[in-house]
Amino acid sequence: MPTGITIQSQCTWPERDNTYVHVEKGDVMEQFQKKVLSEVERFDALSRVSVALMSEKNESRLLHLIAQTATDLTGAAYAAFTLRPVNEQGVALVPSEGNLFYLAAVIGVSKEQEEFFRKIHLGGEGLLAPIFRYGVPVRVGDAMKMASVHTDRPTYSHEEAREAALRFAHGNMPVDELRQVGVPSMHPVICSFLGVPLLDSNNEVRGGLLLGHPEPDRFSADDERLLQGLAAQAAVALENARLYQAMQMRAREMDALFQSIADGVILVDQRGNIIRENERARDLRQQLLQLPDGKQIMEQMLYQPAATVLSRQMKEETTVTVIDGSHEQRDYVINAAPLPLSELYKNSALLGDASHDAEQDAHSEAVVVWHDATEAQRLLHERQVHADTEARRSLLQMILDELPTSVYLVRGKDARLVMSNHASRTVFGAEWKPGQSMLEFLGEHQIRIFMNDGRILPNEQLATLRAVQKGETVYQHQEVIRHADGTTLPVLVNAIALPPNKFRVPSLVASGIEEPELSAIVVHQDVTALKEAEYLKDEFIGIAAHELRTPLAVLHGCAQTLIVQTARGNGSTLADWQMESIQDIDQATRRLVELTEDLLDVSRLHAGHLELQMEAIDMVALARRVIKRTQLTTEQHQLKATYGAEYLVVNADSRRLEQVLTNVLNNAIKYSPAGGVIEIALAKSPDQQHCLLAVKDSGIGIPVQQQARIFGRFMRADNVRGISGTGLGLYLCRELVERHNGRIWFESIENVGTTFYISLPLVDDIHMA
């Protein structure tokens, strides 16, 4: 079978006659000229270029250098270097056929030709097939002749060309029987062709180094060997360049990683030199060094841990606490470890420009890591505190829920619920949702609150609202709760106002904002059973008092008659002791009458039968009258009154107000057994809406533990032994004052004295219920 190449019609292969020709070697002269470049010179040039190859790390310069060297050494007119694309790890990305290889460097062609070659797929067929497919060099003396020999067959198929290449690669066919499949139109005219494969360490084709010359027989067997040697060197140099680039990239990655570590990382040598540090470490070190004890801190955080781990050759962890520039405490966890550097030093990129004697200090460097644990610890602490608070809160809730009395905590002027217990649900007969205001809750569930005597309690007088709106602490306030279904529940309400700083919202505390709202703890005690017993008692007291009234009136009348008639000389004269006895009887019955009157008032109050005769009265005149009368009952005490106004008109039942004032004055006298001055002041309140009466004594005072209950019925303090009284006076006072839309309260210190205050709305500002 004849061998040869096919001339494709579209290529610029020069026109030849279609005769079958043999490829001839160049003439003797050319052979001789080539020999001029002696073996020695070639070897010299080759070793020089190999040094250059080994030291060139830039891949494109390297490729160009290889191509240039190849042309220089062989006298080729053209050189092309095609490469198989590989990934970062050097793994081939395309098959070795050559058509997917890219043009890495080219010499001897025009710019346009180069551009063209870079755009097209480079064929791996025909003469190139043995190189790319089988890694075998191809040297052809005159490709043009080869083409003209095979003019009987204008084209060969790729399969035929590959088959020929296979046979050639196995040494079963001379080179001139290879099949050409044509060349692209822009291809320069090539007669002499020499191509060698670039084989990697696994003998895999990595590329091809292809030389050409327009004249025939320009490449000798020596050229072929030379080019093969160059290709082998180029393969190693390319691999090196790839490794170098991969390593550089890895080094850059490592460096970026190193710099992005949130902890400070420092490499210190045995002599305390900082070999390398990341940005965080550098910043922190500079900050710390600016502190007054910066050097000492650096010693603790860096040099000491480094020295310790280097001497012991083992890791160490310590914690250092530093007070930073803004006077905040910061905790640093210091991890130090000796660093086996022999490996690292091989990779010099990691250490940057560290000018170090690697061998000498290979085991004398320590890596110190600074971890700022402040936030983590703060978080941990906060979590613990939160867990503690939560545990305490649930314990408190448990205790509260077990209580038989209703307890709830409200905040703000509208008394929004913060927390409540189970019993509060029973008391109100409905569930009060946290965050809901009291009036909204009452409205939603149609709950109404009444006073003891059945009148509606105005909202502003609700114990809860008084506590959160005025900061008042209200004790034993009697309220009657009526549920939507009509059932009623009498309760005693204690509302304890909490000043804003006692109960603060954590988020506000953290942000430093003052909590402006008042809070209150409110306790409702169901007094149904008590009321029942009280009712029976009141009934009994009412009946007893009523029954006592007639015999007492008789007794009192008789004693008076005896005294008056004896004084007038009617009847026999009485001995002194008889007269004294009659006067004692008279006083005792007077006292008994007062007591029964009080008892009757109590039962009237409870039965809702206490009628007030309201009229406009001048408090100043009333006070003057009562003070004058009371002063007559004592010589030991001086009642000193001051009046802030000429008259203060209130709408009131004057008899009842006299009763109130008399009891308060009598108490001041009675509970100041040593005598002394009792100061009375009557004036307008600061808001000009009320008249305010204060009665101040310097007596025995009321013990703190009984102050809360002192307005209760029959309530007497422990320190009144030897002083007579029933404990009804203040109870009636409060009931009466409140019926006048007023308020009564006191301040007292045991053994120092007591001041009672009564405030009543002035006539212009009366809100009648």
Per CB under 5 A, 278 contacts Mg ion? no
Beta carbons within 8 Å of 391's beta carbon, 6+ residues apart:
none
Structure tokens at 287: 């900050």
Q: How far apart are CA 280 and CA 265, in angstroms?
A: 8
Residue found by looking up tokens 């190449």 in the block: 5
Residue with the closest Cβ to Mg ion?
729
Query: Minimum distance from CB of 538 to ligand ATP (Å)?
Result: 16
Q: Residue 8 in 3-state DSSP? A: coil
Per CB under 6 A, 596 contacts ligand ATP? no
Residue found by looking up tokens 């000193």 in the block: 640
On whether the CB atoms of residues 432 and 449 are closer than 8 A, the answer is: no
In the complex with ligand ATP, the residue whose CB is nearer, 701 or 742, is: 701
Per CB under 6 A, 676 contacts ligand ATP? no
User: Which window, 281-289, 361-369, 492-500, 708-716, contacts ligand ATP (CB under 6 A)?
Assistant: 708-716
Q: Which residues pair with 638 in a beta bridge?
A: 677
In the complex with ligand ATP, the residue whose CB is nearer, 568 or 655, is: 655
Q: Residue 407 in 3-state DSSP? A: strand
Q: Going along 662-767, which residue ranges are E strands?
A: 676-684, 690-697, 743-749, 753-761
| Binds ligand ATP (CB under 6 A): choice among 108, 126, 542, 701 | 701
Query: Minimum distance from CB of 420 to Mg ion (Å)?
Result: 38
Per CB under 6 A, 726 contacts ligand ATP? yes
Per CB under 6 A, 720 contacts ligand ATP? yes
| Binds ligand ATP (CB under 6 A): choice among 620, 700, 737, 760 | 700
Per CB under 6 A, 661 contacts ligand ATP? no
Structure tokens at 593: 């009458």
Residue found by looking up tokens 């320069």 in the block: 188
Per CB under 6 A, 697 contacts ligand ATP? yes
Per CB under 6 A, 630 contacts ligand ATP? no
In the complex with ligand ATP, the residue whose CB is nearer, 462 or 728, is: 728
Q: How far is CA 298 from CA 283, 336, 476, in A?
A: 13, 14, 66
Query: Minimum distance from CB of 671 to Mg ion (Å)?
Result: 8
Per CB under 5 A, 729 contacts Mg ion? yes
Query: Minimum distance from CB of 388 to ligand ATP (Å)?
Result: 43
CA 382 to centroid of chain Cα atoms? 11
Q: How far apart are CA 702 and CA 712, in angstroms?
A: 14
Q: How far apart are CA 528 and CA 510, in angstroms?
A: 45
Which of ligand ATP, Mg ion, none lies near 210, with the C-beta cut-off 5 to 8 A by kind? none
Phi-psi region of 248 (alpha: psi -120 to 50; beta: other; left: phi over 0): alpha
Q: What is the full DSSP assignment across 479-543?
A: EEEE-TTS-EEEEEEEEEEE-TTTS--HHHHHHT------EEEEEEEE-HHHHHHHHHHHHHHHH
Binders of Mg ion among residues 637 to 666 (CB under 5 A) are 663
Per CB under 6 A, 758 contacts ligand ATP? no
In the complex with ligand ATP, the residue whose CB is nearer, 358 or 720, is: 720
User: Which window, 46-54, 222-230, 453-461, 715-723, contacts ligand ATP (CB under 6 A)?
Assistant: 715-723
In the complex with ligand ATP, the residue whose CB is nearer, 70 or 665, is: 665
Query: Minimum distance from CB of 727 to Mg ion (Å)?
Result: 8
Q: Which of 464, 417, 468, 458 is nearest to 441 (CA)?
A: 417
Which of ligand ATP, Mg ion, none lies near 715, with the C-beta cut-off 5 to 8 A by kind? ligand ATP
Query: Minimum distance from CB of 693 to Mg ion (Å)?
Result: 16
Q: How far apart are CA 569 and CA 571, in angstroms?
A: 6
| Binds ligand ATP (CB under 6 A): choice among 65, 196, 728, 737 | 728
Which of Mg ion, ligand ATP, none lies near 728, with the C-beta cut-off 5 to 8 A by kind? ligand ATP
Q: How far apart are CA 412 and CA 703, in angstroms?
A: 32
| Binds Mg ion (CB under 5 A): choice among 406, 464, 651, 667 | 667
Q: Which of 449, 450, 410, 445 is nearest to 429 (CA)?
A: 445
Query: Minimum distance from CB of 686 to ligand ATP (Å)?
Result: 24
Beta carbons within 8 Å of 80's beta carbon, 6+ residues apart:
67, 103, 105, 106, 107, 117, 208, 209, 210, 212
Per CB under 6 A, 725 contacts ligand ATP? yes
Q: How far is CA 291 from CA 57, 286, 288, 324, in A?
A: 47, 9, 5, 7
On whether the CB atoms of residues 129 and 195 are closer than 8 A, the answer is: no
Q: How would you classify the pairing of strands 637-643 and 649-652?
A: unpaired
| Binds ligand ATP (CB under 6 A): choice among 671, 735, 743, 761 | 671
| Binds ligand ATP (CB under 6 A): choice among 207, 264, 542, 699 | 699
Per CB under 6 A, 541 contacts ligand ATP? no
Q: Return the number of other C-beta atoms located less than 10 Å from residue 461's C-beta.
A: 18
Per CB under 6 A, 517 contacts ligand ATP? no
Q: Return the number of other C-beta atoms located less than 10 Å from residue 129's C-beta.
A: 27
| Binds ligand ATP (CB under 6 A): choice among 71, 74, 424, 667 | 667
In the complex with ligand ATP, the residue whose CB is nearer, 347 or 638, is: 638
Per CB under 6 A, 166 contacts ligand ATP? no
Q: How far apart are CA 462 and CA 283, in angstroms?
A: 62
User: Which window, 314-322, 403-411, 636-644, 664-672, contacts ligand ATP (CB under 6 A)?
Assistant: 664-672
Sign of CA dihedral 683, 689, 695, 701: negative
Structure tokens at 680: 């009375």
| Binds ligand ATP (CB under 6 A): choice among 73, 211, 710, 760 | 710
Which of Mg ion, ligand ATP, none lies near 193, with the C-beta cut-off 5 to 8 A by kind? none
Which of ligand ATP, Mg ion, none lies near 462, with the C-beta cut-off 5 to 8 A by kind? none
Which of ligand ATP, Mg ion, none lies near 478, with the C-beta cut-off 5 to 8 A by kind? none
Query: Minimum distance from CB of 726 to ligand ATP (Å)?
Result: 4
Per CB under 6 A, 675 contacts ligand ATP? no
The binding site for Mg ion (CB under 5 A) comprises: 663, 667, 729
The binding site for ligand ATP (CB under 6 A) comprises: 663, 667-668, 671, 697, 699-702, 710, 715-717, 720, 725-731, 754
